[in-house]
Amino acid sequence: MIREWSTTAARTVRAARGAPAPQTYGLIALCCLIFLLGPASGFTHSYGTGDALLAAQRAYFRHWGVIPAGLFAEPVREALTPVTALFVHGSWVHLLGNMLFLFVFGVLTEERMGRVEFALFYVGCGYLALLGYALANADSEQSLVGASGAISAVLGAFLHLFPRARVTSLLPFLFFLPLRFPAWVVLPFWAGLQWYAAGRAPEGPGVAYLAHVIGFCLGFGYAWLRYGRQRREKDGPGEARVGPAPAPASKGENQP
């Protein structure tokens, strides 16, 4: 059994290396693996059940996630938590929503940026997005986990690099009909929804919409400064398909 698992893992690594966007696929695989091994997946029985499982989940999120109040109280000790939080997700919906958006928009963005630059861009913008949210909520004791800030940065960069790419969206108010719009329509609309939701978000557990807004602005700003007028968009860079359009995950980073 161990030999079969090692053989499968080796084949997966070789396939990722030969893929056009190995960093994107690697990030998806890593996030999924970490989730499956954590207490939120329900697959690891060593965390217990019932109240014991809930306590394990809270401790897990507090250990690996960002706690704004703790980050600024002990900045040296907590300095890496905005990085570790990018790979931790609070539920299956949270994970799958984020990974879907990363897959759809990450492949083309990585191909345009290159492997190393994309990896640094992803982690750097994700770190700053979570840090920005923590600064705006410096007294919060809530754990902040999830890759939505980094993925929002990918969406922002995608908007600048491929504004005419057709994005297939499922819009709830149009009875989830699959409609195709250019990225310059869909992504600013999505960002506007995040900004609106950030202003109305209640205190306590929920979606960290502000981290989405910060990440999106960072990603777009980086792509604009880095590539500017030198953007070379191929005719028909492929159709990005995703749904629903309003957010990269139904449940965002801010977890209990």
Closest CA to 154 of 223, 97, 87, 85: 223
CATH number for the domain spanning 237: value is 1.20.1540.10
Query: What is residue 170's predicted lDDT score, i.e. its pLDDT?
Result: 55
Spatial separation of the C-alpha atoms in residues 199 and 75, rounded to whole Å: 27
DSSP 113-144: H-HHHHHHHHHHHHHHHHHHHHHHTTT---EE
User: Are residues 208 and 134 in contact, defined by beta-carbon separation less than 8 angstroms?
Assistant: no
For the stretch 220-248, pLDDT in tens is 999 999 988 665 444 344 444 444 444 44
Domain region containing 154: 2-255
Residues 6+ apart with CB under 8 A from 218: 125, 128, 129, 153, 156
The model carries a pTM of 0.81
As for how many domains the chain has, the answer is 1
Spatial separation of the C-alpha atoms in residues 96 and 119, rounded to whole Å: 20
pLDDT grade, residue 182 (50/70/90)?
A: confident
Tell me the Cα Rg of the chain. Answer: 18
**Any bridge partners for residue 169, and if so which?**
179
Spatial separation of the C-alpha atoms in residues 147 and 83, rounded to whole Å: 9
Least confident of 57-66, 115-124, 166-175: 166-175
